[in-house]
Structure formats: structure tokens, C-alpha cells
Structure 1
Amino acid sequence: MAPRLRPQSAEAVAQARAALVGDPTDKAALRLLTKHYLAVLSQQAPGGAVEVRVPPYAAVQCIPGTSHTRGTPPAVVETDAATWIALASGELAWEQATEEGRISASGERSDLSAYLPL
């Protein structure tokens, strides 16, 4: 079983955000913020109806409803790290990201706009 993601300290988040200002491709900062915001989402919307994937960094199951244990989950949301961080922090709206094709979302409950920003 994979270890659960945990939110990072405010200081670590601030440092990672500052690192991205200097270098938007900083992999350590992208990884930390991606995992942080996925952990926050899974705490604020616990469940197993939706799997949110941000390759190559992490994935979580969240949102109450139907859950799964094997195979493809009933709903999947996938995006890149920069888009996920922008959505989670309120810098990008769900509608805009979907219109621009920055999110792949399928299945019931895959619209995360009610949960964002975090």
C-alpha cells in the first residue's frame, strides 16, 4: 500500500512557490506543491469516487460516492503539475482549464470546480 500524502508546512509551501517564481520548471518545487495540494484535496473531500492524477508526481482518490479497488476508477481527472498547482491555488479556474484542454476529466463527479481552489 502506498503511503498517504500529507500536507506540507506553510513554510515549505511558501519556499516551493518562491522557487517556481524563479524557475517554473523546478522539479522539486513542482513535486512538493503537487503532493501538498493533492493531500489537501483528499482531506477536504475524502472518498474514492474520483482519482486525481498528476503524473509523474502523485495520484489520490477523493470525493464521496462509489469507490473502486481494482482497474480504472469510475471517474478520473488528469492534468500536469503546473495546471494542478494553478487550479488548487486559485490562479486558474476549472472552466478555463477545461476549455483550454489542460485537464482530462471523465466519469461522474469528475468536475472538481466545487472543491477548487483549495
Structure 2
Amino acid sequence: MAKAKITAIVGTASVRLALAGTADRDATATAVRYLLQLLAEKAEGNTVEVRVPPFGAVQAIEGPRHTRGTPPNVVEMDAATWISLATGTLRWSDAIADGRIAASGQRADLSAHLPIARYPD
């Protein structure tokens, strides 16, 4: 059974709360998952696994498919970093320079796919 998609109304409201600094854990989780969902839709594929523990992970970016074991291309970060990157309030290069992202693999650069959505829109 496929995961239920987060609607734009619910996702956008959660992202706005997170950006305002007023999101509780549930709203933060929804914001993270919604923005991961948008990434997976925008950059379809299975080459890079994007992880935002403990809230979610998706596989994205077109290229060679990964099927077993640890993916060769992994990007991992905390929720605040992901929300900031996905909404354009933080640049990929700045987050890498600050050590806020752990990225491994030749294709583990999401800069061409960010931001996913700008707020306010």
C-alpha cells in the first residue's frame, strides 16, 4: 500500500509554522515529509536517498537505481536544515560549508533541485 500523500493545504500550513518557529513536533514532521514528497515528485528517481531523521526519507534524482544495502548516494540532515534548504532560506553551499549536511556519493548534491518551494508564495 502506498503512503498517503500530504495535501498542499496541510503541508503548506506546517511549513509556514516551521519557518515561523512555532511548529510543534507533529507540524515539523509534516513539514519535513511534505517537502520530501515535493522533492520526490520534482526530481523523480532512485539514485539519491535523502534522509531527515527521525521524520522521513525519500529516494530521488534520476540515474542508476539502487536496490540493496546502503545506497551509494546519501544526503542526511536535521529537520531545520532541510526545511531551510527546501524553502530557499538556506543555500546548499552554505549548509555544506557549515557542516549541517552529511553527503556521500558522486550524485549527492541537491543544489540543482533546491529550493523546492518558496515561502511566502
Superposition TM-score, scaled by structure 2 size: 0.86
Aligned residue number for residue 106 of structure 1: 104
**Equivalent in the alignment of 1:76:** 74
Label 1:39 to 1:5 Cα distance change in 2 as closer, same or farther (>3 A). Answer: farther
Q: 39, 45, 48: which is aligned to 2:46? A: 48
Deviations 1:43-64 (A, max 9, x none): 1111111000000011000101
CA shift in 2, pair 1:41/1:18, >3 Å? closer
Unaligned 5+ segments in structure 2 are 117-121
Q: Which amino acid aligns with 2:57?
A: A
Matched AA of 2:7: Q
Amino acid at match of 1:33: A
Q: CA RMSD in A?
A: 1.7
Q: Cα gap change, 1:73/1:102 in structure 2, threshold over 3 Å: closer, same or farther? A: same
TM-score normalized by the length of structure 1: 0.88
Please state whether the residue corresponding to 2:103 is helix, strand or coil: strand
Query: Shift in Å at residue 18 of structure 1?
Result: 4.1
Query: 2: distance between equivalents of 1:79 and 1:94?
Result: 11
Q: Distance in 2 between matches of 1:17 and 1:39?
A: 13
Partners of 2:37 and 2:16 lie apart in 1 by 20
Deviation at 1:19, TM superposition (A): 3.0
How high is the sequence identity, in percent, across the aligned residues?
48
Alignment match, 2:63: 65
Query: Unpaired segments of 5 or more residues in structure 1?
Result: none
For the 8 Å contact 1:76–1:110, the answer to whether it is kept is yes
* Counterpart check, 1:6 vs 2:8: no
